[in-house]
Every structure is written in structure tokens, then in C-alpha cells.
Amino acid sequence: MKHKHLLCLALALVLLLTVAACSAKAPMTSESQAARAPSNGAYDYSSSYDMGGQMEAPAPAATAGSGVYESAAKAKNTSDELYGGHKIIANYSITMTTDQFDAHYAQLMQRVDALGGYVQNSTINGSKPTTYYDSGRYAYFVFRIPAVKAAEFVEFVGGTGTITYSNSTAQDVTLDYYDNETRVAVLRTQLERLQNILVTTNKLADIIELEQEIANVTFQIEEKTTQLRHYDDLIGYATVSIDMSEESLVAGPAAKDTMGTRIVKGFTSNLSGLLAFGENFVVWFVSSLPALILLALLYVVIILIVRRSKRLKAAKAAEEKAQLSDENK
């Protein structure tokens, strides 16, 4: 009897410890899920939920290489305030002339740097004019300027030369932007469910199918996320394209050489051109002799065939005429 009491006491103690252990396991909240969220990507693929089931807005995780994107995102948020919450892609196009090419080029570069922009493309052709009506240099620039400072930069450009053409466009991508955001949130919810199912299944066929679907959803998330980042860059930084040409000289020496020297140089240049043409022609003619001979022989054969054909036709015509004359007699 004593042993039975001890056994019952031991069973009661084990049951008590089991209940205590179960009660110690609190359900995972959204905060604990956030603590377990991975931090090795630009975006977390898993979506977190609060206890009420409402999805929290996904936020980009900080990474070592996300500095450029974070800068564009900050500029984008500022541009949202500029356009009343709309997602606007602003583009400016300017054509201008200047008689102080070097000074205006330096001013543009300094201003872009001061406004926090950067040069996306820069092309310069030609040389500095030194005589009357020299065409001068031509430059084409593509600048990326923070959207909130783009108007200031365009106004500054107007003071560095003569504007001959200007154009500005504003593309509203608000609907497409928010549509992509919603799509990303839905895909993350789908991905989380697929991952939860993958953990609970033991069938190989189901595992393979689930992994393929997870890969597909992950690809779609990356695609939409990349599109959103691209939009953030275009929204945060306006694109300013500038065509700048250098004006021809209207004052100064016509030339450094005297008229006689210029005539001699011109004659020598033309004579050199003629000599070079003659030399090239001789080289071409000699190197092409085999082909020219074959063409000449072919031409002679064709001429002989044509002449023989004409003689035969003439003889036949004469014969027919004679026969017709005999019949008439």
C-alpha cells in the first residue's frame, strides 16, 4: 500500500511539471517574429502579422550595399512632399549656346555637386575656336539632380548661357507604384504560407512542387522590388539633359598666317591630295588587272556574239524577202 502511495505521488509530480512546462511556452508574437527576421537581404521575404491578423508594412533591411538605394529613397520621400504624395518622374531638356564654354562647364559641374546630384553622362566634341566662324565645341550632359532642387538647377543653367530650347515633362507613376507595393505584400504572404506548408509536409513530390513554387514567388518578389527601387531612383532624382554648343568667334584675328602663306598651304594641300589620289588609282589599277582582263575578254565575247546574231538575223531576213519576191513573180 505504501508503494502505491509513492507511485501516485510520483505520477502527480510528473503531471504537475508537464503542465508547468506547457504554460511556460508563450505563443510567438509579431515582436518575436520580428526578432527572428533575417537581416541579410534588401527586403525580408517573410511577412509578419500582429495578433489581430493585420499585416505590418514591410520595410527594407539595412545592408552594406544599400547606401545608394537609401539615398534615393530619402530623395523620393522628399519629392513626394513636393508633389503632394504623387509619384512623379521629372525630366528636363535644355539646348543652349555659350561664348564662355570652359567657364560655364566648370560652373555646371560645381553646381551639380553642390546640389547633391551627379553626372550620368558627359560627352564633349570639337576644339576651341581660334579664327573667324570656327564651329567650336559641342557638349551633351545628362545630370541627375534631387527632384526638390531640379527647378533651382534649371534656373541656374539659364544664367550660364543663351537658352534656345527647353522642355520639361512630369510622368505620374503613382498607380503603378502602389500596385507594385500591394503585389509585393501579397506575394510575401503567399511565400510565408508556402514555407509553412513546406515545413509540415513529408512527401517528396509535395516538397519538390513547393520548392518550385517558392522559387517562382521569390523571383516575382525580387522583380517587383527591383521595379520599386528603380521608381524610387527616378522619382527621387530628376533627369536634366543639356545640349551646349560653343558660339563661333565674331572678333579676333582671321588667321595667324599671311595671305601668301595660306595660299601656299592651300595649294600644297590640294596638290598632295591629287598625288595621293593618283597613287591610289595606280595601285588599284595594277592590283585589279587580272579582273579587268577577264572583264575585257567577256566584253569582247559578248560583242562578237551580238554581232554574229545580228548578221544571222539580217541574212535570214534577206532570204525571206527573196523568197517572197519569187512568189510574187
Any residues with CB less than 8 A from the CB of 54 and at least 6 apart, and which? none
Give the angle 42-43-46 at the CA atoms, nearest 5°: 150
Alpha helices in the chain (DSSP H): 2-24, 30-35, 67-82, 101-114, 147-158, 174-200, 204-236, 259-287, 289-328
Please give the distance of CA 312 from its chain centroid, rounded to a whole number: 72
- What is the structure's pLDDT at 202? 86
Alpha-carbon gap, residue 150 to 261, rounded angstroms: 52
- What is the structure's pLDDT at 177? 92
Run of H or E including 141: strand 138-146
- What is the structure's pLDDT at 135? 77
Neighbour-count burial of 232, counting CB atoms closer than 10 A to its CB (0-12 exposed, 13-18 middle, 19+ buried): buried
Alpha-carbon gap, residue 322 to 329, rounded angstroms: 11
Note the pTM of the prediction, 2 decimals: 0.51
- What is the structure's pLDDT at 259? 66
Q: Minimal CA–CA distance to 150: which of 241, 243, 244, 245?
A: 241
- What is the structure's pLDDT at 269? 77
Task: Extract the C-alpha cell encoding 61.
Answer: 533591411
Task: Extract the C-alpha cell encoding 313.
Answer: 538575223
Using alpha carbons, list the distances in angstroms from residue 104 to 111, 118, 165, 248, 255: 10, 17, 17, 16, 26
Any residues with CB less than 8 A from the CB of 93 and at least 6 apart, and which? 165, 166, 167, 168, 240, 241
Alpha-carbon gap, residue 328 to 216, rounded angstroms: 98
Alpha-carbon gap, residue 7 to 10, rounded angstroms: 5
- What is the structure's pLDDT at 274? 87
**AA identity, residue 168:** S
**AA identity, residue 41:** G
Letter string b/e over residues 276-315, b meaning 16 or more CB atoms within 10 A of that residue's CB: eeeeeeeeeeeeeeeeeeeeeeeeeeeeeeeeeeeeeeee
8 Å CB contact between 119 and 141: yes
* CATH class (in words) of the domain with range 67-174+238-246: alpha beta
What pLDDT tens digit does each residue of the chain (329 aa) get? Answer: 444 444 444 444 434 444 343 333 333 333 333 333 333 333 333 333 333 333 333 333 333 344 545 555 566 566 566 677 889 999 999 999 988 899 999 999 999 999 999 999 999 998 888 776 677 899 999 999 999 999 999 999 988 888 999 999 999 999 999 999 999 999 999 999 999 998 988 888 888 999 999 999 999 999 999 999 999 999 999 999 999 998 876 555 454 556 677 687 778 878 888 888 888 888 998 899 899 899 999 999 999 999 988 888 888 888 887 787 777 76
Alpha-carbon gap, residue 189 to 207, rounded angstroms: 19
Domain boundaries along the sequence of the chain: 67-174+238-246, 258-288
Residue 83, helix vs strand vs coil: coil
Run of H or E including 164: strand 162-172
Using alpha carbons, list the distances in angstroms from residue 99 to 138, 153, 164, 245, 290: 12, 20, 14, 9, 58
DSSP state, residue 26: P
